[in-house]
Amino acid sequence: MTAVPTKTRCLVLTQQDGRTSASIESVPIASIPNRGDVLVNVAYSSLNYKDALAVTGRGKIIRGEFPFVPGIDLAGTVVESDSRLFTPGDEVIATGWGLGESSWGGYTEYQRVRSEWLVPVPAGLDLRMAMAFGTAGLTAMLAVKSIESKGIGPSDGEVVVTGATGGVGSMAILILAGLGYAVVASTGKPDAHAYLRRLGASTIIDRGILSAGAARPLDTGSWAAAIDSVGGSTLSAILSQIKRHGVVALCGLVGGAEFESTVYPFILRGVSLVGIDSNTCPPPLRTSAWERIAGIVPSNDVLQTVRMVKLQDVSEVCEEMLAGRITGRTVVSIFGEDA
C-alpha cells in the first residue's frame, strides 16, 4: 500500500465576524482533531442539504470549533487502524455520528474516524456507489424499513414521497419502486417529471396540493404510507390523508419544523408517525440497511440520479442546492478524476 503522506488536501471552513468562508487547504494529517482509531483515505463524499447549510454558514450545523472540515459522509479505504474491526485495505463507509458537524468530516483526502462509526462497503457496491446513496440513501432505507415494520406491503396501497427530487426523495422512490410499491411523487418542479418516472414514480402530484396544509382533521384516506422530508404544513396534510393503520416516516424539515394536527388520525385511523434518525442509527441496523440497499437497487438506476463534482466545486454547488436548482444526488470526487 502507498505510504501515507504527511498532509491532506481538504475544504476548510473559517469564520470571522459571523461570516463563513470556504477554501481548499493542505493540512497536516497529524493535526486532525478527530479522536479516531482508523485513518481513511477518502475517495468520495456527497453533498446533502445539511452540508450546504454548513458550507454557506446559513444554518447552525457546525458544533465543532473553526477552522473546520465539513461533509457528513465519506467512503474510502482504511490505511491505518488501531482497531480489531478493520485492517488496511478495507473499504468503508461513514455517515452520521456528528461527522461534519461536531467532528471533521468527509471533504478531505484523509480523515481519522472512530471504528464504531464505520460500516464495511457491502458486496454489490463500490465506493462511488456508496456515496451515490450516502446519508440520503441510508435515511431512505431506514424510512422504508419503518413502513415494512408496520406490515405495509406493495399490495396495501400507494406510498407518497415528498421532496421527491431531493436526495432522500430520489433514493426513497428508487428503493420503494425496486420493492414493488406504487409511488406517488410530490414535487414543485414540472421539468423533473420525466426524471421521477425514470426513478420509478407511478404518479406525480404538485407539491402545492400538500403544502397548502390539511383541509380538515381527517380527509379521504389516499395513501398507505408516506416518506416525508418536508415537514411543516405538508406533514399536516399527509397525516390527514393516510389510510387506516398507515405510517408516516418523517425525516426532514425543509418546509418547516412546526406542523398542525389533531389526535384524530392517530386514534381514529391508527396512523403512526415515525421519526427517522440516521445520524445515531445503531451499528447493527445501519449495517443491515446498507446490505439491503446493495441488494435492491441496480447500479445503473442509481447512477442516473448522480451528479459528480470536484472538491473545489463544493461551495458553488452548495449555493445551487439552497436555491433549489439541484435534482437528485451530488457525489463529491475528492481526487476529481471522474468528476
* DSSP notation for 257-316: S-----SHHHHHS--EEEE---SS--HHHHHHHHHHHHHHS-HHHHHTTEEEEEGGGHHH
Contact 53, 322 (CB under 8 A): yes
Domain contains 129: no
Same domain as 90, residue 154: no
Same domain as 106, residue 147: no
Domain contains 131: no
Report how far residue 339's alpha carbon sits from residue 332's, in angstroms, rounded to the nearest whole number.
Answer: 8
Which residue is listed with cell 445503531? 282
Confidence at 213, pLDDT banded by 50, 70, 90: very high
Confidence at 296, pLDDT banded by 50, 70, 90: confident
What one-character DSSP code corresponds to residue 187? E
pLDDT of residue 270: 98
The grid coordinates of residue 100 equal 461534519
Domain contains 50: yes
Same domain as 182, residue 51: no
pLDDT of residue 2: 72
Same domain as 315, residue 208: no
Residue 1 scores a pLDDT above 70: no
Domain contains 182: yes
Same domain as 152, residue 90: no
Q: State how many domains the chain has.
A: 2
Domain contains 290: no
Report how far residue 148's alpha carbon sits from residue 181's, in angstroms, rounded to the nearest whole number.
Answer: 11
Summarize the confidence of residues 46-63 as an average pLDDT. Answer: 95
User: Which residue range(s) make up the domain with 70?
Assistant: 7-121+305-333
Report how far residue 235's alpha carbon sits from residue 240's, in angstroms, rounded to the nearest whole number.
Answer: 9
Same domain as 240, residue 327: no
pLDDT tens digits for range 64-114 = 999 999 999 999 999 999 999 999 999 999 999 999 999 999 999 999 999
Residue 125 scores a pLDDT above 80: yes
pLDDT of residue 303: 74
Confidence at 161, pLDDT banded by 50, 70, 90: very high
Domain boundary among 258, 275, 292: 275
Report how far residue 201's alpha carbon sits from residue 184's, in angstroms, rounded to the nearest whole number.
Answer: 6
pTM across the whole model: 0.94
Same domain as 47, residue 162: no
The CATH code of the domain that includes 326 is: 3.90.180.10
Domain contains 14: yes
**Could you give the percent of the chain with pLDDT greater than 90?**
91
What one-character DSSP code corresponds to residue 162? S
* DSSP notation for 98-126: TBTTTB--SSBSEEEE-GGGEEEPPTT--
Give the ranges where 92-242 is alpha helix by DSSP (H).
127-149, 167-178, 193-199, 208-211, 232-241
Same domain as 259, residue 192: yes
Instruction: Specify the pairing of strand 272-275 against strand 306-310.
Output: unpaired
Which residues touch 263 (CB under 8 Å, ≥6 apart)?
none
Length in residues, the chain: 339
Summarize the confidence of residues 207-211 as an average pLDDT. Answer: 96
Same domain as 263, residue 150: yes
Identity (one letter) of the amino acid at 105?
G
What is the overall mean pLDDT for the chain? 95
Neighbours of 240 (CB within 10 A): 23
pLDDT of residue 18: 86
pLDDT tens digits for range 227-252 = 999 999 999 999 999 999 999 999 99
The CATH code of the domain that includes 173 is: 3.40.50.720
Same domain as 192, residue 87: no
pLDDT of residue 167: 92
Same domain as 231, residue 317: no
Same domain as 110, residue 140: no
Q: Which of 1-5, 40-44, 159-163, 209-213 has the lowest mean pLDDT?
A: 1-5
Domain contains 241: yes
Torsion of CA 191, 196, 201, 204, to 10 degrees: -20
Q: What angle do CA 10, 11, 16 make, to 5 degrees?
A: 130
Contact 207, 187 (CB under 8 A): yes
Domain contains 140: yes
